[in-house]
Amino acid sequence: MKKILVIGIGAGNPEQITVQAIKALNRAKVFFILDKGYADDDLLRLRREICERYIEGEDYRLVQVRDPRREDDPRSYQSGIEHWHEQRAALFEQLIADEVQDGETGGFLVWGDPALYDSTLRILDRVLARGREFFEYEVIPGITSVQALVARHRVPLNRIGEPIRITTGRRLAQEQGGDIDNVVVMLDAHCTFERFVEQDLHIYWGAYLGTADEILISGSLKEVSERIKEVRAAARAEKGWIMDTYLLRRAVD
């Protein structure tokens, strides 16, 4: 039986790799790396660095393939995701068929944690449901950008007696006019936080968390909103991509 390891490798700092993840890295013989197509992809280099740092010996290989591009579907957001997932399932199925022999172990290196805003687990379940490839898979958790964000800003994720919510920029945009208490926002390409500047909120924002290019900004949302937009736009223009996360929290007396 083939074995697949889905390994959470943290938010970007190679020193955030867990002992369990290091052991998993040393169990696999082939790792699949999805190339997003950026001309200067620091994420590819970081994954290679993690393998070189923690894998004992050189009897492993990296298989780099172009990740299918997710296209917006004018019919609905869900339709676009469905089409993208189907493309990924076909790719994953081919990789496992061609690169992992019976009895061997392959690995997918996932930023953050495989269970939080990542599609790898859903794609592998879809591959199994297609019925052409058979394998077992195991999930190794990792440190998320959410954890890295609050650690770098030195604030607790939750406040006493208050819940914490994790959502996306797209969903937050649908809540304009609603009250915000404690919300972590991921996958926000449009600086949705600026819609809430009239509320008495504090923001803890971070980009490229855990990497040498890490950027941190915090303060009253009304006071730092424009600065975050400017810094974010400049960083994205320079690198061609950006990964950022932020916590919006209602100010207290």
Residue 80 scores a pLDDT above 80: no
Residue 245 scores a pLDDT above 70: yes
How does residue 39 score in pLDDT terms, banded at 50, 70 and 90? very low
Q: Could you confirm whether domain 2-140 is CATH 3.40.50.620?
A: no
**CATH 3.40.1010.10 residue ranges for the chain:** 2-140
Rounded CA-CA distance 38/139 in Å is: 27
Q: Which residues are CB-contacts of 109 (< 8 A; sequence separation ≥ 6)?
A: 7, 9, 31, 32, 33, 47, 50, 51
Most distant pair of Cα atoms in the chain: their distance: 62
Q: Where are the alpha helices (DSSP H) in 8-99?
A: 19-25, 42-54, 77-99
Q: Which residues are CB-contacts of 142 (< 8 A; sequence separation ≥ 6)?
A: 7, 8, 9, 10, 16, 17, 18, 21, 110, 111, 112, 113, 114
Of 152, 149, 87, 143, which is closest to residue 110 (Cα–Cα)? Answer: 143
Q: How does the average pLDDT of the chain come out, rounded?
A: 92
Residue 12 scores a pLDDT above 50: yes
**CATH 3.30.950.10 residue ranges for the chain:** 145-250
Residue linked to tokens 């169990």: 27
Q: What is the DSSP letter of 211?
A: S
Q: What is the DSSP letter of 173?
A: H
- Chain segment 157-205, per-residue pLDDT in tens: 999 999 999 999 999 998 866 678 899 999 999 999 999 999 999 999 9
250 strand-pairing partners:
201
What is the structure's pLDDT at 38?
Answer: 56
How does residue 72 score in pLDDT terms, banded at 50, 70 and 90? low
Rounded CA-CA distance 246/172 in Å is: 12
pTM of the predicted protein model? 0.91
Domain 145-250: assigned CATH number: 3.30.950.10
Residue 109 scores a pLDDT above 50: yes
- Chain segment 128-153, per-residue pLDDT in tens: 999 999 999 999 999 999 999 999 99
User: What tokens does 77 get?
Assistant: 């957001």
Rounded CA-CA distance 204/148 in Å is: 12
CA angle (66, 69, 74) in 5-degree steps: 170
Rounded mean pLDDT, 110-131: 96
Q: Which residues are CB-contacts of 8 (< 8 A; sequence separation ≥ 6)?
A: 18, 21, 110, 111, 112, 113, 114, 139, 140, 141, 142, 143
